[in-house]
Structure 1
Amino acid sequence: MIKLEIIEQFQQELDYLNNQKHSSIMISTTAKHALSFRVLPRRSILNTAMSCFMINDAKLLKKALLFFDGLVDYIYIDIEQKQDLNLFEIARSIVKKSNLTTVKPNDNTLESCDMLIRNHLKDDLLNKDIAVVGTGNLASKLATRLTERQANVYIMGRTNEKEKTVTEALNLFLPKHTSEVKPFEEIQSKKKVDIIVSFLSGQMSKEDRLLSLIDEDTFVIDGGINNFSSSFIQRMLSANVKVTRLDTRIALPYQMLLEHDYTQSFFNEVFGHATINDVLVAAGGYIGGEGTVVVDNLKQPNQVIGIADGSGGVKANEQLSEADRNSIRKIEKAISTSS
C-alpha cells in the first residue's frame, strides 16, 4: 500500500508544476543502496519546469506514472538499468497521454564534468595534468574525453594492475596522434596537477596518495559524490584548494536535445528524401539511389550538393549524365523560385 505521505508529495510537486509554462517530471534510479523513494531538487530548463524523483520500487513507480500521466507535458525516464527494475519498460506500458522521453544520467554526468573542467581551464586543456580517480564507466569515459582534448591524463585505480588494464584498453581506441592515457604511477614525476576528478562508487581509501600533487591552483572535483572524507575536504579548504561536488544541472540541456526545436526541425525539415518538381531529392545524410539530387534541406532547399552515385557518394562533374544535369536545373529553378 502506498503511503499517503508520498501521494501528498506528488500533489505538492504537481501544484508547483501547474504554475509553470511547461511541466515535466524526471524519474531516475541509482546503483547505490538507497531509499525506495525520494523527492530530488527541482530543475528548470528550456522554459520547462521539472520535478525530480528517485524511485527504486516498482509499485511506487507505477503509482507515480499513473498520477502524473496527462497532467504534465513530459515524463523523462532514466533508461540506464542500475537496479533489478526497468523503469522504461514499466513506463512505456503505463504512460499514454504525456510525452515519454528517455534520459541517460551517466551521459549527463560526463557532459557536466567535461564542461566544468573546460570552464575552469578556460577551454584550454593542452598539456594540463589531470588525475582521474576510478576505473569504472564514468572514469574511463572522462579519461578518454579529456585525453582527446589534449590533456595529460593519469588513471588511479584500486591496484596498479587495474590501472594498467584500463589504460591499455582505452589507448586501443584513442585516435592515432592522441597522447596515451597513463597509469597513476607515472604521475609521480609531476610536482602538481591541475585537476583531480574522482568517480568512485564509495569513499576513497587512498587520499594520501593525492596530497603531494595538490597546491592552491589544483581544482578537486568529487564526481562520485562523497568520495572524499570530511577530513580531506577540511584539509583542502584550509589550504585554499578549490573543492566542488559535481552538479549535473550543468548539462541538463543535453538530456533534452531530442525534444529541442532545432533537433526536431532537423528530423522534420532537413533529414530524409522527397520529390521536388518530379525529381528525387535527399538531405541530412540520407543516402539516395543513383540520380537522386542531394540538397542541404528537404523542405526548403537552398543548395544543391550534387548527384548521388548510388553508393553513398556524389558523382564527379564529368560523370553527370544529361538527365542528371536536367534534374539539377529543375531543383535550382525550384530554389530560385522559392527565394
Structure 2
Amino acid sequence: MELNEILHNEHKYLKKFNYSSIMISTTAKHALDFRVLPRRNIPGVMAISCFMINDENMLKDTLSFFDGKINNFYIDVELKQNLNLLKVAKEVIQRSKLVTVKPNDTTIESCDLLIRNYFDDNLFNKKIIIIGTGNLASKMAVRLAERQAKIYLIGRSRERENRHIGALNLFLPKYSSLIQSVEELQSKEKVDLIVSFLSGKFTKDDILFPLIHQDTLIIDGGINNFSNDFIQEMLLKNVQITRLDTRIALPYQFLSTHEYTNNFFNDVYGQSIIQGVSVAAGGYIGKVGTVIVDSIKQPNQVIGIADGSGGVKKSEQLSETDRNRLHQIEKFISTCNKTII
C-alpha cells in the first residue's frame, strides 16, 4: 500500500472523532522506514493514529498531510535514530499543536502499573530480577527498589553489572534495600517477578529456571527478549509470561495537555494581588511578606507568610503587618465562600 493511501485511511478513521491526534515515534532497534502502529483511543477524549517513522522524507510527507486536519501531533523527543523527529516537526507543522512525548517514560509507567496490579500494590520484600543495565532496566530497578522490593540485577557481564549496581544504589533512599547481583540469590530461592529490558535476546535461561515457581510473573519489556524454548517451558508450567503493552499508561503521555494540568498553570500557580495583598501559590517563591495560599485565582486556604527564601515564617516571626495581611486574605476567602454557598 502506498504512503498516500495509508495516510488517507488513517484520516478517514480519525474524522469519526471530535478530537484526534497523530503520534510519531522511532525506535533504537533496526526498523522499517515506515510502519503503522496500533491505533490508540481514550474513550470520550481522543482517537490517535500511530506511526513509527525512520525516513525523513516520509516523516515530512506525513506531517504535511495531517497538519491542520488533526488537533495534536505527539512527537517522540528521544533521539534513538539519526533522525530528529522534533526538529523536522517544528519545521513542518504550522496549524496543529505540537506536543513532545517520551515513550521511555510511558514504558516505565506501564510496567509499574502492570506490576502493581498483579501484586495488589504490595511490593514489600518481593524478590525481583531485572534483566538489563540500560535506560529502562535501570529506571525500573530503582523504582521497584523504592517500592520496598528486593532487586537482583543481571547484566551482560559481571563487571558491567557491578558498575551499574553501584551507581543505582547511590540514588536510592537511605533505608532502601540495596540492589544486588542475581548471584547473591541462594540456589533454592524463588523470585516473585522477572522483568527484562534488553535490546536483544536473553541467552542465560539456565540462570532463571531454578529461580522460577508457578506464581512468578515474567514480563518481556524489551519485546522478543526470551527464546521460544523458554516461553514454551513457562507455558507448560503455567507460569504467567507477558509482553508489556504500553497502552496501560497512555494517559500519562497526555498530562501536559490535560485539563487538570492546564488549570494548575492557569489558576493555581504563580503570584497575584488580592485586596492589595501580594499572594503566591503552587510553589511560586514570593518576596518576604507574601501571603502563601493554595491557589491564586480561587484561594480556599492560607498557608502562611513567605520568608523570602522559599519557606514559611514561624508564628513568632510574624510582624503586625504580616498578621494584617493574613487576616485580609482569610476574610476575603471567607466572604467568597459565603457568596458561593
What is the CA-CA distance between 1:272 and the residue it aligns to? Answer: 0.2
Write the deviation string for residues 197-232 of structure 1: whole angstroms up to 9, x where unpaired.
Answer: 110001111122111111211111100000011111
| Long gaps (5+) in structure 2 | none
Separation in 1, partners of 2:26, 2:280? 41
Structure 1 position 34 matched with structure 2 position 39:
no
Matches within 5 A, 1:200-279: 200-279=198-277
Query: Would the aligned equivalents of 2:220 and 2:242 in 1 still touch at CA under 8 Å?
Result: yes
* Structure 1: distance between partners of 2:188 and 2:304: 53
Cα deviation for residue 188 of structure 1 reads 3.3
User: Are residue 127 (structure 1) and residue 125 (structure 2) matched?
Assistant: yes
2:206 is aligned with what amino acid? D
The worse-fitting range, judged by mean Cα deviation, of 318-327 and 69-78 is 318-327
Aligned equivalents of 2:61, 2:230: Cα separation in 1:
42
Aligned counterpart, 2:72: 74
Three-state SS of the structure 2 residue aligned to 1:173 is coil
Partner letter of residue 56 of structure 2?
Answer: A
TM value normalised by structure 1: 0.97
The equivalences for 1:16-31 within 5 A come to: 16-31=13-28
- The letter for the 1-side match of 2:38 is P
Aligned equivalent of 2:160: 162
**Could you list the per-position Cα deviations for residues 158-183 of structure 1 after superposition, in whole angstroms to 9, with x for gaps in the alignment?**
11111111111111121110000001
Task: Report SS of the residue matched to 1:102.
Answer: strand
1:148 to 146, 149, 157: 146
Structure 2 CA distance for aligned equivalents of residues 213 and 330 of structure 1:
65
Structure 1: tracts of 5 or more residues without a match: none
- Alpha-carbon separation, structure 2, partners of 1:247 and 1:190: 32
Q: In 1, Cα distance between the equivalents of 2:239 and 2:128?
A: 15
**Residue-by-residue CA offset, 1:44-100 (whole Å, 9 max, x unaligned):** 126110000000011111111111111111110001000111111111122121111
> Paired residue for 2:183, among 177, 185, 201?
185
How far, CA to CA, are the matches of 1:7 and 1:244 in structure 2? 35
Whether the 8 Å contact between 2:190 and 2:211 is mirrored in structure 1 is yes
User: Quick one: distance in 2 between partners of 1:314 and 1:288?
Assistant: 10
Equivalent pair of 2:187/2:211 in contact (CA under 8 Å): no
**TM-score, normalised with respect to structure 2:** 0.96
User: Structure 2 CA distance, aligned partners of 1:122 and 1:21?
Assistant: 36
2 CA distance for matches of 1:236 and 1:322? 72
For 1:64 and 1:102, the matched residues in 2 are separated by 17
Give 1:190 deviation, angstroms.
4.6
Structure 2 counterparts to residues 323-334 of structure 1, below 5 A: 323-334=321-332
Number of residue pairs matched? 336
**Distance in 1 (alpha carbons) for counterparts of 2:137 and 2:40:** 26
Displacement of 1:21 in angstroms is 2.4
Does the CA contact (< 8 Å) of 1:160 and 1:185 recur in 2?
no
**Given that residues 187 and 210 in structure 2 are in contact (C-alpha distance below 8 angstroms), is that contact kept between their aligned partners in structure 1?**
no
**CA–CA distance in structure 1, aligned partners of residues 299 and 129 of structure 2:** 48
Q: CA–CA distance in 1 between the matches of 2:40 and 2:19? A: 12
Q: 2:286 & 2:218 partners in 1: Cα distance?
A: 50
Q: Deviations over 1:219-255 (max 9, x none)?
A: 1110000001111111110111111000000011111
User: Which position in structure 2 is the counterpart of 1:301?
Assistant: 299
Which residue of structure 2 lines up, in the alignment, with residue 291 of structure 1?
A: 289
% same residue: 62
Q: Distance in 2 between matches of 1:318 and 1:214?
A: 60
Distance across 2 between alignment mates of 1:85 and 1:235: 40
Code of the residue aligned with 1:161 in structure 2: it is E
The letter of the residue matching 1:328 is: L
Q: Is the 8 A contact 2:131 2:194 kept in 1?
A: yes
Opposite residue 123 of structure 2, the aligned amino acid is L
Write the letter of the residue equivalent to 1:42: R
Whole-angstrom CA distance in 1 between matches of 2:243 and 2:189? 24
Separation in 2, partners of 1:73, 1:303: 37
